[in-house]
Structure 1
């Protein structure tokens, strides 16, 4: 285990290496030059290697010094990270998360579980919301982070971290004629009554679907708008129409509908974590977003 004195010596060594001059480094860390020189000498004696070539007005790292600088930076970064996480966790507080269940499935649970291990004093609040409600919550400062579809255009004042990309599928009823086809064309989609998420609650979804049909010279025959995946797929199951949904939703409802591959589909949906740009540097928030990224990477690695 590294003793406090050794950590201090490593910090002194990094300061000298980055300054290129012992005198400048001593001024930077508020230490006298002789005292700093003694600390560096003690570190060299501890490891049995010469780290610096001392010249008239500067220093040069030896090969051992170059290796030590790399290792010292990594070790100190890890130590500082541990200290910051412990301090933040001890401070308590809360983390308010907005999410769409169909999109956050497989991401949120492991991320929250890992986050609370690091920050046991933080109260995590989860809110199942529409995209519109999530964006409004961020803007009003009522949410800290959201998990939803990343907007296609620029969103001023928000920072997005991509997590997962999901292709599109066409949801049709079990007895629908399209259920027997391997692949469905855009024209076949446009010919059917289209069930769609509410434009006011899910503007990005609405824009993506309608723009895709327009690119093919087609127009959507919207037969119903819905405020959630359960009501949308219930309508599909009842034979009221068909719906374009993310492939991730197909895994949640394997028996209720048939999910068909669409030819020339819209670009994959990007599921992302969003937060206010003025909060992006918040340490606790950054830890949670990193846990989301880890959960997303685990899903990809695990197939």
Structure 2
């Protein structure tokens, strides 16, 4: 289909999704005869009927169903390509707040893909807590926050899910539970726990605390840490075990082991947060798409290796 044009394809998709020529024509700001001509022209170009027309309605032929399904993918790719092409003409700095323990395997490949297509753009990274990221977004000193969205809705900030990660239990190689391949919730009862700071990571505490109560686990907090580096160091020193996301495997030394936990808390959603007023920024939109693509590819690779 080298000569297939996007405008009649968009018209066909609109009509097929609406199930009504008149409504689709109104949405596309066309007259009904003009929309019908575009679809008929598409059928002539393709050489196959796309619609089974009745007196007051229509249904899709098998060819029409295929074109609807594949055409939507084609349109999405074409729109993204247009955004990328337009973005290359802009020299723009993108300021990103991120959490190293959550974004390993996502941020780097997204940046690499983005800078290859947009060599004029500059990316600045800031290692911050979620609260600091939200505050910086609201103040305008960050463009994108890549982290776990706060439990409470934040006005004027929209979150786009990039990836979901499961939980693991980090422990030293000297820990008594090391011999168990898979841990159960009650294995954590009365264990010494190393956790993120409650002040700086309140949503982590809320998620873990709620699950502990649900599983009737008595938590014994041994240490509160300000970030992943200090948390892993505390685990390595034998101060206790810690609940971390699976991507922490990229950051831990050989002396620390990650164990599977079943059942476990709900998966952690990693998302890109952005102010609503910036949602039409083409360069930022392309970067978020690269983050989503990197998150999907990373998840596929981990499942393949698993």
TM range (shorter): 0.7 to 0.9
* Shift in Å, 1:274: 1.6
- Residue equivalent to 1:234: 233
Match in the other structure for 1:109: 108
- Relative to structure 1, the CA distance from residue 161 to residue 72 in structure 2 (aligned partners, 3 Å threshold; closer, same or farther) is closer
Query: Are the structure 2 counterparts of residues 175 and 287 from structure 1 closer, same or farther at C-alpha, using a change threshold of 3 Å?
Result: same
Task: Note the alpha carbon deviations across 1:90-133, whole angstroms, 9 max, x for none.
Answer: 12121111111121111111111111222222111111111121
Structure 2 counterparts to residues 5-16 of structure 1, below 5 A: none
Equivalent pair of 1:93/1:121 in contact (CA under 8 Å): yes
Counterparts in 2 of 1:237 and 1:156: CA distance versus 1, 3 Å:
same
Give the structure-1-normalised TM-score: 0.74
Can you give the 5+ residue segments of structure 2 that lack an aligned partner in the other structure? 49-57
After superposition, the Cα gap between the structure-2 partners of 1:116 and 1:174, relative to the gap in structure 1 and judged at 3 Å, is same
Q: 1:288 maps to which residue?
A: 287
- 1:182 and 1:92, CA in 2 relative to 1: closer, same or farther beyond 3 A? same
Equivalent in the alignment of 1:224: 223
* Distance verdict in 2 for CA 1:226–1:8, change over 3 Å: closer
How much has 1:269 moved relative to structure 2?
A: 1.3
Alpha-carbon offset, residue 179 of structure 1: 1.4
Cross-structure match for 1:170: 169
What is the CA–CA distance in structure 2 between the aligned matches of 1:88 and 1:176, rounded to whole Å?
Answer: 52
TM-score by length of 2: 0.74
Shift of 1:233: 1.0
CA contact (8 A) 2:114 2:290 kept: yes
Structure 2 residue matching 1:194: 3-state secondary structure = strand
> In the alignment, which residue of structure 1 is the partner of 2:300?
301
Distance in 2 (alpha carbons) for counterparts of 1:48 and 1:264: 55
Shift of 1:290: 0.9
Q: CA deviation at 1:235?
A: 0.8
Contact kept? 1:10, 1:72, Cα under 8 Å: no
* Cα drift, residue 72 of structure 1: 9.4
Q: 5+ unaligned residues in a row in structure 1: which ranges?
A: 50-59
Instruction: Verify the 8 A CA contact 2:104 2:250 in the aligned structure 1.
Output: no
Give the number of the structure whose alpha-carbon radius of gyration is greater: 1
Q: How far apart, CA to CA, are the structure 2 residues paired with 1:294 and 1:96?
A: 19
Structure 2 equivalent of residue 55 of structure 1? none
Measure, in 1, the Cα distance between the counterparts of 2:255 and 2:76.
Answer: 50
Is residue 131 of structure 2 the alignment partner of residue 132 of structure 1?
yes
SS in 1 for 2:124: strand
Conserved? CA contact 1:172–1:259, under 8 Å? yes
1:210-262 Cα shifts (integer Å, max 9, x gaps): 11111223342212111111111111111111111112113432612122222
Aligned to 2:111, the other structure's residue is in SS state helix
* CA shift in 2, pair 1:46/1:140, >3 Å: same
SS at match of 1:90: coil
Query: Which residue number corresponds to residue 158 of structure 2?
Result: 159
Structure 2 counterpart of 1:56: none
Q: Cα RMSD between the aligned structures?
A: 4.3
> Is contact 2:190-2:217 (8 Å) kept?
no
Q: Which residue in 2 is equivalent to 1:57? A: none
CA 1:115–1:257 in structure 2 vs 1: closer, same or farther (change >3 Å)? Answer: same
SS at match of 2:174: coil
Distance 2:43 2:261 in 1: 65
